[in-house]
A and B are shown apart, each in its own frame.
Chain A
Amino acid sequence: MTTYQDYQIVKSLDEAFQSLSPGEDLPCLVAGGTDLLLELQQGRHKRVNRMLDIHSIPELLELKIDNNQLLIGAAIPVSDIACSPLIKEHAQAVSDASALIGGPQVRNVATLGGNVAHALPAADGMIALVAMDAMALIASPTGFFEKPILQLFSGPGITTLLPDQIITRFSVKMKEKGEGSAFRRIMRPQGVALPILNLAIWIKRDRELIQDIRIVFGPSGPTPCRAVLVEDVFRGKNWNSALLQIGIDAISSTVKFRTSKNRASAEYRYQIAKYLFTQTINDAWEKAGQDNNNGND
């Protein structure tokens, strides 16, 4: 079955927006396409006639620090993200999550932009970006605008982006002293290689004080969301094991997990969430504390 009729690779945003001009049969945007092309081939996505490949637009490939922000181009292959020292330094959760997306060959093609635009509730890269409180820079025919990443989603597989809007990059605040992040997930060896549960945590600490924290479980709802009530347990408190237990209890009472047939029951997700949370928060806490030892800023 022919997946699409026309596949156009554009080299600039201008060229992209020419093809996205209104009135015509609007093309479907594709970056790595590793998920999208399969969905088309397998009839899980509505048929499209035209595809607009944006993976080689220079603005989407930038990776740099600018004005205290780490800028991550939306079309950088995730294998490059996984081995970038810059991303490891400033957004460890994104680095760790990227190393786990798909398989090695897929990572050489797949992009973070695609991972986010696919809008699955447990996409590893996306979950990590949410924990990093990333902003997405979006190009549209009328200009650029920024959106907090959480405002990009309106349902499972559905974004708030219009068909002629392109995510060009994500920005994450540069790491400051006392900050750290971690990402972990739990899989099952049978069935589709999606995490049963994944978790990204970002922490800002001052010695034993948790100044700020962001916690994101996936999947925990139709769209990605932060476990804000669990965060509230920790924010402004001193780190200790009693606090950890209160946080764990807050997961059971405030985070919404569901049952996925043939994959995991909600009960199982709640059980493993405790373990996953303990591991991940310890990890993030230690990373946030590393600066205290080596003075690295």
Chain B
Amino acid sequence: MAMINFFVNGKFIEIPTIEGEMLSDLLRNRLGLLGTKIGCNEAECGACTVVIDGKAILSCNYPAQKVQGKHVLTIEGLACRENNESENLHPLQEAFIRYGAVQCGFCIPGQIMTSYALLKQIPNPNIEEIQYALKDTLCRCAGYPSIIAAIQAAAANAETGRAIESPFIPPAQLGGKIVGQVHIRPDAVLKVTGKAIYSDDIKFEGMLHARVKRAMVPAGILLKCDVSKARVLPGVISVLTANDLKAERNHGLVIKDWPVMVGVGEQICYVGDALAIIAAETREIASTALELIEVEIAPLQAITDPVDSHNPKSRLIHSQGNLLKHIKVRKGNIEEGFEKSDIVLENTFKTNPNDHAFLEPECTVARLNPEGRMEIYVGSQIPYADREQVAAVLGISEENVRVIGQLIGGGFGGKEDITGQIHAALLARETGKAVKLLFDRQESLIVHPKRHATQITVKIGASIEGQLIAVQSTLYGDTGAYASLGEKVMTRATTHSSGPYEIPNVRADCFAMYTNNPPAGAFRGFGVMQSAFAVESMMDELAEKIEMDPIKIRKLNALRVGSLTNTGQLLKESVGLLECIEKVEKALFERAGSNPFTPVEDPNKPEIVRAWGFAVAYKNTGLGGGAPDKAGAEIELLENGVFEVRSASAELGQGLPTVLQLTAAEELGQGTDAVRVLLSDTDLTPDGGPTTASRQTYVTGNAVRFAAKSIRQLLISELSERYDVSPDRITFIEGLAQIGDQKVPLGKISSILRSEGIIPKVLYTYWAPETKPLGDGGNMHVAFSFAAQAAFVEVNRFTGEVQVPEIIAANDVGFAINPLGLKGQVEGGIIMGIGHALTENFILNQGHVVTDRMASYRIPSIMYTPKITSFIVEHPTSDGPFGAKGVGEIVLIPTIPAITNAVYNAIGVRVTSLPIDQEQILHHSQIMQM
């Protein structure tokens, strides 16, 4: 038998060859080196980067036989490589942690290995050299600014030998002892050493591998689905079809309309519809079996445009009609408003679908545990919703399903719906074995819900002085084949479609339409990204028309304390929009002088013209709209003196464990070492609700805060009785309770209470303040975050190419609980916004996904990193934890219109559809004179 002999992390390996094996599979599957991640398996994302003989190499596309005689270095071999002490991190690992370069963590091994190879070649690289070397090592959290800074810090460390110093990151203005101060993530060390476990890293003895037969036709009736040949392929253990569904046949977060599998005689509504599922001994066998399934489909005409879908003559996609929801906003009298206006402008804007392109593809492992309960290992944004949906389809009680949430390699809203959870569970039950269902990148791009493509017409009426009098908007949202969160997303798009302005007369109508495109659902920004692009473009058009400064017109109309929103909500507090605008304005004038919006030609490069653009935004925190919004949190004092905080709320990289850890530590008077956070296990952690709507810091943060207060009270009352000390003489200091004059370790207190049958544990369910449904007036949301951004663009007049070298941003977050994590959110949001404006084009052709590879759906690389000046504005909201409100989404929203407004200012072309198309820019600028 042919053998491969090579070295991994200094250790000699001799291992038989396997046909067609790539190095990544050898490392992960046969050597158990799981730190090397597979993000795309198509040599695009860089997550699988290892260092071979000093050079960075993509291991997913490197035949294993090629390592013969070579030295391979993986992330596992980096720590303590420079010396022999076991716990010593490599300076790169240390710097990545301290600079906050680690978020979801999935790309981090690849980032660090690519950086390692760079530093071996160039010990002290400048920013351009770093960008050149890391160009194809993608980070969807887009921690690029922090990654660059971390690499430079590690390089400086190698030069000077001094320890890696933490960067200065401004704390919260009114920070506490713990909250509002800079702390590193509790999971950072695991993530920089490759020890962090994601779903695809989980293995069980005898585990089977599942694959799903997809319709690959956007509309039709399934006539035949013959699985007999697949069933008899050696190595195939089970093949299931819709015939095998004995209980609930659909899933869905709001409306259960998404078939688990489409049966013969039933309708196919999009290319990703599942027709059959296979479990086999290996993924290769399961893949081969897919091709043996014989399918016949009678095609139907695909409806792929939401406006067409609204046409009464269009074919009905679902029996109840093509309209998911007509959403209305009414304020004042719109006709009168336009009559009173001196200026009325109207334009129509289109946004394209976007894919979340989280670097970790969807993966579920399901197994029956020895007690016969179904265990689901998955990185999910809503573990309890997974549990409910799996149980319903399996026809078992929810208590018989345990969802054990894993680390999530990016979510951004794309891991809210069911993907493989139900299919894996069905196969695990059928076979009695553990079953892994891993999507490849192509399947991920085809199957999971996208951002809603939306057509938005905005008609805006104002006085000659720039006062907004009336805004009317009409939206057509493409919600795709199934409901997902479409109604919620498009409601947010509608209510935010007149911008963060006080306007007496508002009318908005949104038609959320079914089509035969992939479903659309939650995606960071949740509809508001789309409407902000439209209304902020119109604000600039209006400013130009009346020859007013774009910042001044926004200040004039901005929501402020005392304003009434378009849904009739009186804003009583926490409206930091004006301060955001002023902060950005001041920095902008300092940076660019008093005319930042006029184009400036480059004296040395006649093709380049530059200008700034400006935009503002707001975004709700929490579910709102009358939906009960609650989260549970449990805190227990363990016998080792650690408080364990538990909630089934998801960490997608945004830093929730840090927020909860700091919140509990602050309330309990402890350091961060004394607080541990456990998330997303439906057996062990109470329901924290969905990780969506920028709600976790506020809702689960509050749950933890009140749980911490409760356990503190519980401990004080127990100790007061036992030690006969008045409650006001009991305090908690790090690791200890100060009881009168006596200091008692917390672990001891836990043991004492337990010995007496008292478990020092509290459960607190926090209910966010009640909100009103749209149309009822009053408080539709508990709070709003606000933001302003200025974007600097560089347009090539001869090619239409656009670059964004600089962004100035201000975000009103209420209170910065976790400043290091906040920095990551702000930078990552801006760069995702740049991606949406410039690089990301999810292309559909008659319902078929054209951009079905990472190579064709491009997310921003480190080359797109702008210089970012960020201001944190803190107008606290009284019910938020320490005043905090959501930040995860607002950060991305103004970036896009700020860029498109800057393009207009630079070259006079109004961008009306996304992403910016350089060919269209050139076409419209009509200045090809050389």
Residues of A whose CB lies within 8 Å of any CB of B are 1-7, 9, 33-34, 37-38, 41-42, 51, 53, 55, 79, 102-106, 108-109, 186, 188-193, 248, 262, 264-265, 268, 271-272, 274-276, 278
Q: How far is the CA of A55 from the CA of B57 in the complex (A)?
A: 15
Q: Which one of B76-84, B480-488, B915-923 is at the interface?
A: B915-923
Contact B607 A105 (CB under 8 A): no
Contact A53 B63 (CB under 8 A): yes
- Chain A: minimal CB distance from B685 (Å): 39
Q: How far is the CA of A34 from the CA of B22 in the complex (A)?
A: 12
B63: A residues at CB distance < 8 A? 7, 33, 37, 51, 53
0/1 string, B6-23, CB within 8 A of A gives 1: 000000000001011000
Q: How far is the CA of A268 from the CA of B46 in the complex (A)?
A: 32
B56 close to A (CB within 8 Å): yes
Residues of B whose CB lies within 8 Å of any CB of A are 17, 19-20, 41-43, 46, 49, 55-58, 61-63, 65-66, 68, 114, 132-137, 284, 287-288, 607, 796, 798-799, 801, 838-841, 843, 850-851, 853, 855-856, 858, 915, 917-919, 922-923, 928, 930
B137: A residues at CB distance < 8 A? 104-105
6 contacts between A and B (CB under 8 A): A37-B63, A79-B55, A105-B43, A109-B58, A191-B851, A272-B922
Main secondary structure of the interface of B (DSSP, over half): loop
Q: How far is the CA of A122 from the CA of B755 in the complex (A)?
A: 76
Q: How far is the CA of A278 from the CA of B46 in the complex (A)?
A: 35
Q: How far is the CA of A7 from the CA of B22 in the complex (A)?
A: 11
A265: B residues at CB distance < 8 A? 919
Q: Which of B801, B853, B919, B930 is close to A248, meaning CB atoms less than 8 Å apart?
A: B930
**Given A9-B65, A42-B42, A190-B839, A108-B136 contact (CB < 8 Å):** no
Contact A188 B918 (CB under 8 A): yes
Contact A262 B135 (CB under 8 A): no
- Chain A: minimal CB distance from B859 (Å): 10
Q: Which of B43, B919, B930 is close to A274, meaning CB atoms less than 8 Å apart?
A: B930
Contact A104 B135 (CB under 8 A): yes
Q: How far is the CA of A186 from the CA of B918 in the complex (A)?
A: 11
Q: Which of A37, A190, A271, A278 is close to B858, meaning CB atoms less than 8 Å apart?
A: A190
Contact B858 A191 (CB under 8 A): yes
Q: Which of B850, B851, B858 is close to A189, meaning CB atoms less than 8 Å apart?
A: B858
Contact B55 A192 (CB under 8 A): no
Q: How far is the CA of A37 from the CA of B58 in the complex (A)?
A: 12
**Given A105-B56, A274-B798, A275-B798, A190-B20 contact (CB < 8 Å):** no
B858: A residues at CB distance < 8 A? 189-191, 193
B917: A residues at CB distance < 8 A? 190
Q: How far is the CA of A102 from the CA of B42 in the complex (A)?
A: 13
**Given A106-B43, A272-B799, A5-B922 contact (CB < 8 Å):** no
- Chain A: minimal CB distance from B116 (Å): 12
CB closest chain-B residue, reference A8: B65
Q: Which of A6, A192, A276 is close to B856, meaning CB atoms less than 8 Å apart?
A: A192
Q: How far is the CA of A65 from the CA of B785 in the complex (A)?
A: 65
Contact A6 B136 (CB under 8 A): no
B799: A residues at CB distance < 8 A? 186, 272, 275-276
Contact B855 A105 (CB under 8 A): no
Contact B841 A191 (CB under 8 A): yes
Contact B928 A271 (CB under 8 A): yes
- Chain B: minimal CB distance from A229 (Å): 20
B918: A residues at CB distance < 8 A? 188-189
Contact B136 A104 (CB under 8 A): yes
Q: Nearest 10 pairs between A and B by C-beta? A: A103-B136, A275-B798, A2-B20, A190-B841, A189-B839, A108-B55, A268-B919, A3-B20, A105-B58, A7-B65
A-B contact sample (18 more), CB < 8 A, given A103-B136, A104-B114, A264-B919: A7-B20, A7-B63, A38-B43, A53-B63, A53-B66, A79-B55, A102-B136, A104-B133, A104-B137, A105-B43, A105-B114, A186-B801, A189-B838, A193-B855, A274-B928, A275-B798, A275-B799, A278-B930
A38: B residues at CB distance < 8 A? 42-43, 61
Q: Which of A1, A37, A192 is close to B61, meaning CB atoms less than 8 Å apart?
A: A37
Contact A33 B61 (CB under 8 A): yes
Contact A104 B56 (CB under 8 A): yes
**Given A105-B136, A106-B136, A272-B799, A42-B853 contact (CB < 8 Å):** yes
- Chain A: minimal CB distance from B925 (Å): 11
B57: A residues at CB distance < 8 A? 105, 108-109
- Chain B: minimal CB distance from A36 (Å): 10
B796: A residues at CB distance < 8 A? 275
**Given A191-B856, A274-B798, A5-B20 contact (CB < 8 Å):** yes
A34: B residues at CB distance < 8 A? 43, 61
Q: How far is the CA of A42 from the CA of B799 in the complex (A)?
A: 33
- Chain A: minimal CB distance from B55 (Å): 4
A2: B residues at CB distance < 8 A? 19-20, 284
Q: How far is the CA of A262 from the CA of B114 in the complex (A)?
A: 32
Contact A190 B46 (CB under 8 A): no
Contact B58 A275 (CB under 8 A): no
Q: How far is the CA of A86 from the CA of B56 in the complex (A)?
A: 24
B607: A residues at CB distance < 8 A? 275
Q: Which of A6, A274, A276 is close to B19, meaning CB atoms less than 8 Å apart?
A: A6
- Chain A: minimal CB distance from B564 (Å): 41
- Chain B: minimal CB distance from A95 (Å): 15
A102: B residues at CB distance < 8 A? 136
Q: How far is the CA of A3 from the CA of B19 in the complex (A)?
A: 8
CB closest chain-B residue, reference A51: B63
Q: How far is the CA of A53 from the CA of B20 in the complex (A)?
A: 13
B132: A residues at CB distance < 8 A? 104
Q: How far is the CA of A53 from the CA of B915 in the complex (A)?
A: 41
CB closest chain-B residue, reference A264: B919
A276: B residues at CB distance < 8 A? 799
- Chain B: minimal CB distance from A21 (Å): 20
Q: How far is the CA of A55 from the CA of B56 in the complex (A)?
A: 17
- Chain A: minimal CB distance from B681 (Å): 35
A271: B residues at CB distance < 8 A? 798, 922, 928
Q: How far is the CA of A203 from the CA of B287 in the complex (A)?
A: 53
- Chain A: minimal CB distance from B453 (Å): 15
Q: Which of B19, B46, B66, B114 is close to A4, meaning CB atoms less than 8 Å apart?
A: B19
A105: B residues at CB distance < 8 A? 43, 46, 49, 56-58, 114, 136-137
Contact B915 A190 (CB under 8 A): yes
